Structure formats: structure tokens, C-alpha cells
Amino acid sequence: MSKRRTSVVATCALVLILICLGLFAAGYGIYQLQNRVTATFGPPASHLELSQRLRLSAQLLVQTEELTRPVYPVGEQRPFQVQWGETLAAIAGRLQAEGLIQSANAFQAYLQYAGLDTTVQAGYYELSPAMTPVEIAQALQDATPSDVALTILVGWRMDEIAETLPTSGLEISPAEFLAAAQVIPAGYAFLEQAPTGATLEGFLFPDTYILPREITSGELVTTLLDTFGKQLTPDLQQGFAQQDLNVYEAVTLASIVEKESVIPEEMPLIASVFLNRLKAGIKLEADSTVQYAIGYNRDQNSWWTNPLSGADLQFQSAYNTYQYPGLPPGPIANPSLSALRAVAFPAQAPYYYFRAACDGSGKHVFSNTFEEHNQKACPDN
């Protein structure tokens, strides 16, 4: 064999050895990388391809400190909500913006590495900057925290509040809540003028509440009443008094204004119509009071029968303001602060009548006389 040929063979052998050594070193490096990352963060998700595992493992190794140390070791818990359909990037961005994690990018990488990126649940959580990002990632897999959100919509009657409880996450039955809402508790000055037999209808303030799951029916009612009390400012009470209404009467009228209004901006004008009718001794003739009196309509699956028939307007109840003058015995729903303020500070207008506009906008047209009111009726379709 010639010296040249021998040299070529030797060179090839050396290159092959170097390649093998390089592959061995790379394989060993990958093995060590995976071991170090697995020791800290657990095994990677089984669905990841090799290239994804290597990329994510390398990123986690570089950002280990940002993922394993809390932002603030003595931070207190705070509420955090994950919205339905919210992207992982958006969630991570808000966590960083709120000071719960150091790096949104590292947090996303960990979720993807661990296979937790597709299992984050929408819901309410209690998170703390004293938690590590890894602990926060694990917490976001379980949307059953100790606290839950209960939303009470404006204009709901207490029966509608009760209906939501079985799916709210609270450990209160509808019957327990309704029983608690039938009792006027002591210690609330704004309830002292409630007549005998009155319930808490009207004073269960609409809002979104973050509540412990184990809250009792009595504690829930107290929370709602306390929130109402915070809205009842001195200027609001003074406004009621200027309309010759006590708080209970004002809330009763506000509940009617709430149910008769579609557009909040019209509430002061609608309130002025009812106040004008009360002062003139004219029946309120509010459809919503008849709807409240009739109660649940099984055919419509609603607590608010719509439309009302002529026979409905003859329904015998003290709440039927077509049949009885003055205010009904009590509120017919739980009004918003806007409705309460509309009664306290109504528009100064001469109107005694209003009806829905014919354009389907939800607005109303107002009239001074019954004749004018009839002239504004919508043409039959």
C-alpha cells in the first residue's frame, strides 16, 4: 500500500473517530441536560418532539432561577381570574404585569415543557408572589379554589338569585337562601322602615362577589346588605327625602324604574314620570309590577311574563299597580345604583306617560297627556 493511500485511510479513520467522539459528547451533553432539567422541573411532556424538548430544556436551564424563586417571599394572596378563551401569552403577560412571576417567557416555556399549556383552566384563583412560577403553573390546573365568584345581575328578584346558587359553587341551597332573605335582620337602619312581613327584596345589592365556598345563607345575605349600605350615602338619602320618600319607599320605586328602563340614561326621566303620578294620585300602571305579582311563567321559562295580556292586567295582587294606587307593598327587584340615584335625583319634567319607541331602540317616548300618549302608539304590524 502506498504511503499516500495509508495517509488517506488514517485521516478518514481519525475523522470517523472525531465524529464518533463528537456524537458521544453531544449525546452525553443532551443526556446531562435532560437529567439536570428533569431533576428540577420533572420529565418533559411525552408529546414533545426531540427538538422541542431540547429547546425548552435549554431555556429552562438558563431561566431556572426565574422559575424556582418567588417574586416576593412574603407576598400576600390576591385574586386572579383566567378568562374563557384567554391565550397562554395573555395569561402569562398579566401574571408578570401583576408581579406574580418574573418572566412571562420562562413561564410559558415551563408550561409547554410540562405539558400544562393546554390544561390551564378558566376560573378564579388566589395567587401570591410568594409562590414560585412552577407552583402557580400547577395551581392554574385546578379552577376549584376556596373562593368563588357570585354575580347578581341588576333587576333580578331574589328568586332569580336563588336559581343561580346550585351552579355557583357555593354550598347554599335555593331554599336556604330564600329563607334567610325572608327575615329582616337587626342592625340595619335602612331597613327600620320596612313594613311588617317585608322581605329583603330590593336590598340584595347587584354586584360580583368573591365569596368563600362554605359561606352560609345568613352570611351571604349579610354581605349583600352590607354592600347595599355602602351605596346608601348621605346625599342619596337626602335626595330620597326631597322626593318625600323614605328609604324603603325609594328602593321600591327604584326597583320599578330598573325594570321599566332599557337605557340607563333614561332612568331619571322615567323616575320623574312615576313621581309625578304619585304626587297627582294617578296609578303607576307599571307592567313590571304585574309581572312580579304573576311570578314564574312556566311556558316562557321566565319570572317576567312578556308580553302581558289584558287578563294579566286584571291579576289580583297588591303589587298590581294597574289595580291599586300608590307604590306596591315593597320592591319588585334589586335595583342598581343608577336606578337609586334616578329616584333621588329625577329629571325635572312635566310628563305623566311613557311608552316604548317604535324603532326598536329600547328608548321611550314621553307625553304630558293620555291623548298624546295614545297618539304615539306604534302602528299595528
| Average pLDDT of the segment spanning 313-341 | 97
Residue 169 has pLDDT above 70, yes or no: yes
72-101 per-position pLDDT tens digit = 988 888 889 898 889 999 999 999 999 999
Percent share of the chain, pLDDT over 90: 73
Task: Measure the N-to-C terminal CA separation of the chain; round to a whole number of Å.
Answer: 108
Specify the 3-state DSSP secondary structure of 348. coil
Q: How confident is the model at residue 332 (pLDDT cuts 50, 70, 90)?
A: very high
Return the pLDDT at 2.
58
> What are the start-end ranges of the H helices in the chain?
3-41, 50-62, 64-68, 88-97, 104-114, 133-139, 158-164, 174-181, 217-231, 234-242, 247-260, 267-280, 287-294, 337-344, 370-375
Sign of CA dihedral 267, 270, 275, 278: negative
Percent share of the chain, pLDDT over 70: 90
Mean pLDDT of the chain: 90
| Average pLDDT of the segment spanning 296-316 | 96
Residues 6+ apart with CB under 8 A from 129: 70, 71, 72, 75, 99, 100
5-55 per-position pLDDT tens digit = 656 555 655 556 555 444 444 444 555 667 888 888 899 998 999 889 889
Cell, residue 319: 303589587
Return the pLDDT at 24.
46
Return the pLDDT at 76.
87
Return the pLDDT at 28.
45
What's 75's DSSP letter? P
346-363 per-position pLDDT tens digit = 999 999 999 999 988 889
Q: What's the pTM value of the predicted model, to 2 decimals?
A: 0.67
| Average pLDDT of the segment spanning 108-132 | 91
